[in-house]
Structure 1
């Protein structure tokens, strides 16, 4: 497949799920020692990737958990930051300046810090109290975060079936390769049909809202310089729907959690207005070996894999490299 190195993908994803023993040990230690607040800290895409796990905690746990933007945390502070707090950071390169500043800020408050990254000698890996390192460039962080939050909530008696889930996640590398292969033809077709489309309206909800935000901002805007509107499916009928016209490209991300009906409602309305509605639905993928009760939790990882194929084909048809930047890490700001 175009721009797809299967052995590399398998190896990178395998390195993420191989962290399970260390993640289990870490989560157990945190629960045994005790803490009162959990901060999931990121910048850009890594901030968006924290939302599904705030969402998971919010719907099943009384533990105060919130996703926060690294730079805002440093600028505004948080009254809950202290020795009874834990902060989790993710960074592919381990060099994101805003996240590094947030690590240092948290540590100055006595917060215990944890980092997931692909480089053991990176600034963030060296700065956090505990670094859990996968292979370089391994993305996304969903396997690690799902294991971490699953174990943590399980130990608190707030997540049933963690051991079963964690065992099933061992199949993630092969499953995601299968998802990529299945998605590739439709990804190519979408890219061909939207070669000249310069505006996309993206919708998602539940644990896919973070991915919706991520794909809109970090891929279509940052990597393809396309204009987008992104809106949560529960908020669709409060303003943004007025931007729809009959030729508006509406891209809907549909998962399998309890918010599915909210996104179905958006799709039904959008099809009344626009002739260009595309739905990317995790239900279309078999995910053999994953129990039905866990499928919804994997939606962000599945959609990241599917849309990774779309990104590669957009790069091809638009002759616009995904690595090309005008400002990000190019100019000082």
Structure 2
């Protein structure tokens, strides 16, 4: 595979999977001690990656779950953020300035902070009450963060008696790192063609629904815009027919991500509509990926993880095709993330 270290990938995703037991232990202790809410408070891309876990709790649990923008929360605070809150703060670098600033305020409140970092010797690595360290880099962090936040959500539901098959799901996930690697290998032959679509336009409408919408948002903003300087318009499939459809015409690229959760019909509607008005609809559907041994329920939960795994392969070809390394930035150092 192009520019890819298989063993490194397996180590990183296996490291994330190995944290499931500790997450369950920590969440159990927090709930036993009286925790009454959970906040997912990342910054930028790391915050977006927390959205599927937040959404899962919003829709399948009565436990109060919140997600907010750290830069705003530092200024405004929240009446719901109290000493009885669990706060989940992801930051690959462990130095993200908005998150570090918010951590100081959360410490004053007295909430219990779980930091998810790639490096222990950092402000967030040192500042959490419970620190979960799993080294990763930009090309491997999505799957890791998706999985860690999923473990938080599933554990909350388990301890509250809101899910009956927690052990089964966690058991199935043990085989996921090897499964994801197999998915990458199988998709490699198609990745260049998808990358060519992305390289062929300086503007893309990127859309999706349910738990894969965050990956559409993330890939448009954090990869295509930040790392490739390609303009995008990420729009939720629920909103597509309330404005963005008017921009669709011949020559306009629409990139559709399809997952396997209950919101899939929203993506189906766009897939039916777009070809009548544009010759540039491109679909990435997780249902096409072979993942033996995974139940349909788990596949639905893992749809954003599967997309992240395949999109990394697409990005690897895209940076070569455009002679624009994913690490090239204009302003990144100036904002000191």
Residue correspondence of structure 1 range 48-59 to structure 2 within 5 A = 48-59=48-59
> 1:4: how far off?
0.8
> 1:146: how far off?
1.4
Judge conservation of contact 1:143–1:169 (CA < 8 Å) in 2: no
Distance in 2 of aligned mates of 1:197 and 1:31:
49
Judge conservation of contact 1:94–1:125 (CA < 8 Å) in 2: yes
Q: Which runs of 5+ in 1 are unaligned?
A: none
Distance in 2 of aligned mates of 1:165 and 1:332:
39
1:197 match: secondary structure: coil
Q: Which runs of 5+ in 2 are unaligned?
A: none
Residue correspondence of structure 1 range 148-227 to structure 2 within 5 A = 148-227=152-231
2:255 match: secondary structure: strand
Distance in 2 of aligned mates of 1:193 and 1:73:
38
* TM-score using structure 2 length: 0.96
1:218 match: secondary structure: helix
CA deviation map 1:267-305 (0-9, x unaligned): 111111111111101101121111112110001100001
> 1:193: how far off?
3.9
Residue 101 (structure 1) aligns with: 101
- Give the total of aligned pairs: 333
Distance in 1 of aligned mates of 2:247 and 2:177:
39
1:42 match: secondary structure: coil
Residue 85 (structure 1) aligns with: 85
* TM-score using structure 1 length: 0.97
Residue 298 (structure 1) aligns with: 302
The structure 1 segments of at least 4 consecutive aligned residues displaced by more than 2 Å after TM superposition are: 135-138, 192-196, 329-333
Distance in 2 of aligned mates of 1:267 and 1:159:
33
1:213 match: secondary structure: helix
Residue 27 (structure 1) aligns with: 27
Residue 265 (structure 1) aligns with: 269
Greater Cα offset, 192-201 or 272-281: 192-201
The change in CA–CA distance for 1:294 and 1:194 in structure 2 (over 3 A counts) is closer
Greater Cα offset, 7-16 or 99-108: 99-108
Match of 1:317 among 317, 321, 329: 321
CA deviation map 1:178-213 (0-9, x unaligned): 111122222111222443310111011111111111
The change in CA–CA distance for 1:265 and 1:307 in structure 2 (over 3 A counts) is same
Matched, 1:255 2:255: no
> 1:148: how far off?
1.7
RMSD over equivalenced CA pairs, Å? 1.4
